[in-house]
Amino acid sequence: MMVSPDVIKPIEWFHGRVRYLDQTLLPAKVEYRETEDESVLASEIKRLAIRAAPLIGIAAAYGVALAINKVEKDDPAQRKFAFERAYTLFAATRPTAVNLFWALERMRRVFRANEQEPLDKLKHNLLAEARSIHEEDRKMCEQIGLHGAELLPTAAAVLTHCNTGRLATGGIGTALGIIATAWEQKKLKHVYIDETRPLLQGSRLTTWELSMYGIPATLVVDSAAGFLMQRGLVNAVIVGADRIAANGDVANKIGTYGLAVLAKHHQIPFYVAAPTSTIDFDVASGALIPIEQRASSELFQFFDQSFPGGDIEVYNPAFDITPNALVTAIITEKGVIERPTAESMSSLRSHSELSKRAGQAEVST
């Protein structure tokens, strides 16, 4: 029996606790966990039980609300200590995704505006902001889906990378939101899914989501993408983003840059789908975006089997940088930026509450 994708709720506020889906267990096991401890939530972000740029921003906002909820004494020093500790805790989880810092800065502004208010009001307003961040992301995903679907030809066959759907956001997703919308509009014919090494977010997560929609899809190894394009099987490549620089350079899951190069060679549109909260106007180009390095164990493990690496060194960046010259368009909830440059991207700046770089330096290593 086909399961509705609407049942996927990767995170929610649940009776004073945060309830989340452990994505490390998917698709073999669907397990929800709950916590009222912000430290646990931060650890779950680090180990990718909660993952993807929009979702970790939502999680961090809820985590700050959890921290303030535990304050019992109405003491200004105690509430400030709790907030700053939570802010620092979540800022140190994952350095590349700017949605994390964007959400934390929004929570900081609400904290400062209500710092002298009664404790109950402070708690209420921080939780209300976290819920607003969650709801706004849901609405942004819907708009991204509509804008992106307009760009696809009828009976489109698209290639996507990593996971960018309901598991990654507060709504239907970014790149997968476009795919789901195009399918609903009967514009989509087929989806090719990169496995997305080394943690297989494509083969574990995207296949699971698309099967819920009943969308025809084919899983391929990452290195088969160029061959698909050579055979004329792909009309467009659609990916998400973890941070977009002011000039339109894109940081996304490792392997994205290679796809963009292949798409350029084969004259296939390469689209990036992301909310404006993913754009960091404080970073001039992709060269300045910090790239998270993951553990070597991710490469020395295959399912349940581990093998020793001996003296072999491991270089395991979680993300790469795609230069703006390879990007056909960036699709946001505010509209589509074709052939992004610093000048064309600037039109989005007034629409966005963008994070400042304060607090990022200590997590850039």
Give catalytic residues, as residue numbers: 242
- φ/ψ of 133, rounded to 5, equals -60, -45
Q: Are 61 and 21 in contact (CB under 8 A)?
A: no
Sign of the alpha-carbon dihedral angle for 28, 34, 40, 45:
positive
Q: Which residue has the tokens 């009976």?
A: 155
Nearest to 339 by CA among 254, 279, 270, 273: 270
Residue 206 neighbours by CB under 8 Å, 6+ apart: 160, 162, 163, 164, 165, 176, 193, 196, 217
**Coil/strand/helix, residue 262:** helix
Q: Which neighbouring-strand residues pair with 321?
A: 251
Angle at 236 between CA 235 and CA 242, to 5 degrees: 165
- Whole-angstrom Cα distance, residue 203 to residue 223? 14
The two tokens of residue 176 are 């997968």
- Whole-angstrom Cα distance, residue 139 to residue 169? 11
Bridging pattern class, strands 305-306 and 319-322? unpaired
- Whole-angstrom Cα distance, residue 72 to residue 248? 45
Q: Are 247 and 279 in contact (CB under 8 A)?
A: no
Indicate the burial class of 305 (C-beta count within 10 angstroms; 0-12, 13-18, 19 or more).
exposed
